[in-house]
Structure 1
Amino acid sequence: MDHSPTTDQAPPGPLDFLEFATARGGQLYKTAYLLTGGDRHLAEDLVQEALSRMFVRWKRLSRLENPAGYAQTVLVNTFLSLRRRRSSREQATFEFPEVAVTDADPALRLTLLRALQQLPAPDRAVLVLRFWEDRSIEETATILGLSSTAVRSRSHRALGRLRARLGDSFTERLQAQPR
């Protein structure tokens, strides 16, 4: 009988989590930025909160088939629960800090962000996951804990609300943009 030590992989530790957070942090921030309607500071807070929730359970979570997908779910759920708890003491602003933008039309981007910010949080979450993150209906449903039918319905209604906020002239301008 062989009693030599086994060479199994070491259990996941803080270094593994640091690598994960470094690799996925940028994508999580982009999603959080859109979910918060362009609030950079709140986006950073959301990412930090989501990653801290994952760190506490990292030993178990690192064994998941898709920890990155789980991180997205934690981020979106953190955002939605924050929106439910948020008091009226904070006011949204329509003034955005000047940042370097590589878009062909920065006014278009700001208009879209403002319109997205005016949507209810669940609508915004569906639109960000479906169209910005380019996730399937099934993936979005899993992340949000909804049925596929609910995601389709909410997407349809949210796009209608977004179009109504933007108006016909904006839709024509958007269609005229080079692709």
Structure 2
Amino acid sequence: MPSEDTELREFLSHRRNALLRSAYLMCGDVHAAEDLVQNTLIKVVMAHRGRRRIDHIDAYARRVLVTTFIASRKRLWNREEPHDSLPDVPVQGSDTDLGLAVRGALQRLAPRQRAVLVMRFFEDQSVQATAELLGVSEGTIKSQTARGLAVLREALGGAIGTLVEDEEASKMREVIR
């Protein structure tokens, strides 16, 4: 039992930031991502200390992260986005523009599509691993990926064309093609 607790502590200390990055890409908001990771880690600890044995804590945590995110987006109160004023428009041509454009485009996707693209391209998971993680067929993952990338292509078409040519822009073009 003590070795299992040690394994859990090591996981929590080493993988929290990676989960936070994935959660941020899914949520698009630092505070929501922190809440999502906190809820995920609570569920992982409770399951680990409960009656079930978790063989692969990392895979289990990613699955909990994705399912918790998707479930949270189904709540009606989560769809409201009140604003006092319009956001400032960023200056075009910097590296930050690509990041802002990508995060904005990710917010246009349905939660499941966003989760699929984050798992496939950011977490570098295979179609099979993503399908197992989400509990759906590989065909569903492929269709969600294709639809999500189509939305990203449409949303980022103009933004990528105006960016300064650099390695980051080239990488993003490859991802969305």
| Fold shared per TM-score above 0.5 | yes
Partner of 2:44 in structure 1? 54
In 2: Cα distance, 1:111 partner to 1:26 partner: 23
Partner of 1:12 in structure 2? 4
Total equivalences in the alignment: 161
Checking the alignment, whether the CA contact within 8 Å between 1:77 and 1:144 is kept in structure 2 is: yes
178 and 92 in structure 1: CA distance in 2 versus 1, 3 angstrom threshold: farther
1:113 deviates by 0.6
Partner of 2:66 in structure 1? 76
SS in 2 for 1:12: helix
Partner of 1:132 in structure 2? 122
In 1: Cα distance, 2:145 partner to 2:117 partner: 6
Partner of 2:166 in structure 1? 177
Q: 5+ unaligned residues in a row in structure 1: which ranges?
A: 1-8, 97-103
Instruction: In structure 1, give the amino acid aligned to 2:77.
Output: S
**1:105-127 superposed Cα distances (whole Å, 9 cap, x missing partner):** 01111111111112111111111
1:40 deviates by 0.3
In 1: Cα distance, 2:35 partner to 2:122 partner: 20
164 and 69 in structure 1: CA distance in 2 versus 1, 3 angstrom threshold: same
Q: 2:12 aligns with which of 1, 4, 21?
A: 21
Partner of 2:96 in structure 1? 106
**1:30-87 superposed Cα distances (whole Å, 9 cap, x missing partner):** 00000002x0000000000011011112136895332101100000000000001241
Q: 1:118 aligns with which of 108, 116, 128?
A: 108
Q: 5+ unaligned residues in a row in structure 2: which ranges?
A: 89-93, 169-177
1:89 deviates by 6.9
Q: Which has the larger radius of gyration?
A: 1
Structure holding more helix per residue? 2
Checking the alignment, whether the CA contact within 8 Å between 1:54 and 1:61 is kept in structure 2 is: no
Instruction: In structure 2, give the amino acid aligned to 1:24.
Output: R
Instruction: In structure 2, give the amino acid aligned to 1:26.
Output: N
Instruction: In structure 2, give the amino acid aligned to 1:12.
Output: E
In 2: Cα distance, 1:57 partner to 1:145 partner: 18
Checking the alignment, whether the CA contact within 8 Å between 1:123 and 1:155 is kept in structure 2 is: yes
